[in-house]
Chain A
Amino acid sequence: MNDHLTPEDEATMRALRGALPPVPPPPDLGDRIVAAVAEEEAGPAPLAPVISLDARRARRRTVLASLAAAACAAAIAVGVTASLTAGGDDPGPLTASTAVVAQGGDGVSGTASLYAADEAGGAVEVALRDVPPPPPGHHYEVWVLEKGSTEMTSVGSFTPSSPDVDLTLPLPAPADYAAVDISVEPNGGPPAHSGTSLAGAKFA
């Protein structure tokens, strides 16, 4: 099959390049911007509040979780799992809970639990153990899959600084959920699921 653009498309490409020059940024600019934001967010003297995990589990409410590097590092230093939480609402009644299983069977373990999944404001709690660092330039993303659906929905992402990660994330809508998946995503990649999973859980 001919690899060339049609003459008309070539002309369009040339015309557009006259207005918007095809000068790509340095390949690492995106990573540097995210790093600059992380540094800015960490502030000059990061203080990681160390909160009892049990207490946190009892009261935490969901937010999207991106684990700020400095805060996590401080949490790890004292051997506490890291989680971003907000508010003081109870997550609601437990709807379902099941084991998280690593892709391939070895490595990450843990549990995934649904709270009030059939109500507005429901949440999914993911407790992971033995989480490896993501590959350079990658992070992890948590997805949920509704029963009868073929498309997963992202509910949050994280970059762990500790092997132990506890997250409570808002469910997108009241529904009967079939599975939770933790994917490996490239930083700055497209929003769709990468197709590569670290681990997952299927609810009965």
Chain B
Amino acid sequence: MPGAQAMAAVVTDLPARRARSHAAYDGHVERTSADARDAGDIDARLLVRMAAGDQAALGDLYGRYGRMLHAIAFRITGDAQAAEECTQDAFMAAWRTARTFDPGRAQPSTWLCAIARNRALDAVRGQSRRPTPQEEVQPTGTAPDTADVVADADAAVRVGEAMARLPQEQLDVLQLGYFDGLSQSEIADRLALPLGTVKSRMRLALGRMRDVARDLGLEA
């Protein structure tokens, strides 16, 4: 069958095409604004697909931002269960409102982080308003200062947004080291990349994140 031979060539070519695609990404690693635009374009396409009812696109969006949004929510709520609920709420809200997203007003990552931040702050405020059973009152306890919570939330969002603007290949490496605690060798094994490539991407990613840390006064 002629089609069989033709298709065999297409399938055989796939890894090579993928590799070339990654090589194209590598060509942009020094261009922060272009990278941010590329990341925004990827996210915007995912939101368009979500608006059309493509649930797999929601899964892809979660793959890009799930850990960041969960970390933001955890930073604000300080509670794993609440962070999980806020993360789920944020992605559900993103799904429902994807068609209303206006890329002219904000980056998708900014929009998503803001949703997670607001959900988490709502959770904290709801907790503080909830009547406390008398037996749970701690005489020496102090309620977190609202201004501190908001400041912490904003710092977490700034870090999350900065991560979101990294090129995908740098983000993949950083997230595995940052959230999963993998060593660079383990990341190389996980992603089937040479260790030198992982180290290069990690160095570039942390170099950019260092600027954010300095801006936020986080650096020791």
Residue picked from B15, B18, B60, most chain A C-beta under 10 Å: B60
What chain A residues lie within 8 Å of B11 (beta carbons)? 103, 181, 197, 200
Shortest distance from the beta carbon of B112 to any chain A beta carbon, whole Å: 13
Shortest distance from the beta carbon of A143 to any chain B beta carbon, whole Å: 9
Residue from the list B24, B63, B91 in contact with A190, Cβ < 8 A: B63
| Residues B71 and A23 in contact, CB atoms below 8 Å apart | yes
Interface size in chain B (residues, C-beta < 8 A): 82
Give CA–CA (A129, B49) in the complex, Å.
25
Q: Which of A12-26 contact B (CB under 8 A)?
A: 12-26
Q: Which of B128-177 contact A (CB under 8 A)?
A: 152, 155-156, 158-160, 163, 168, 172, 177
| Residues B18 and A201 in contact, CB atoms below 8 Å apart | no
Q: Which of B161-217 contact A (CB under 8 A)?
A: 163, 168, 172, 177-181, 183-185, 195-196, 199, 202-203, 206, 209-210, 212-213, 216
What chain B residues lie within 8 Å of A94 (beta carbons)? none
| Residues A13 and B206 in contact, CB atoms below 8 Å apart | yes
- Tell me if B17 is interfacial: C-beta within 8 Å of chain A: yes
What chain A residues lie within 8 Å of B68 (beta carbons)? 20
Q: Which of A35-72 contact B (CB under 8 A)?
A: 36-38, 40-41, 63-66, 68
Interface size in chain A (residues, C-beta < 8 A): 76
| Residues B55 and A20 in contact, CB atoms below 8 Å apart | no
| Residues B9 and A16 in contact, CB atoms below 8 Å apart | no
- Segment at the A interface, from B26-34, B81-89, B100-108: B81-89
Give CA–CA (A73, B213) in the complex, Å.
50
Q: Which of A122-166 contact B (CB under 8 A)?
A: 139, 141, 145, 150-152, 156-159
Shortest distance from the beta carbon of A12 to any chain B beta carbon, whole Å: 5
Give CA–CA (A19, B212) in the complex, Å.
11
What chain B residues lie within 8 Å of A187 (beta carbons)? 56, 59, 63
| A interface, CB within 8 angstroms of B | 1, 3-6, 8-9, 11-26, 29-34, 36-38, 40-41, 63-66, 68, 84, 98-101, 103, 105, 139, 141, 145, 150-152, 156-159, 179, 181, 183, 185-193, 195-197, 199-202, 204
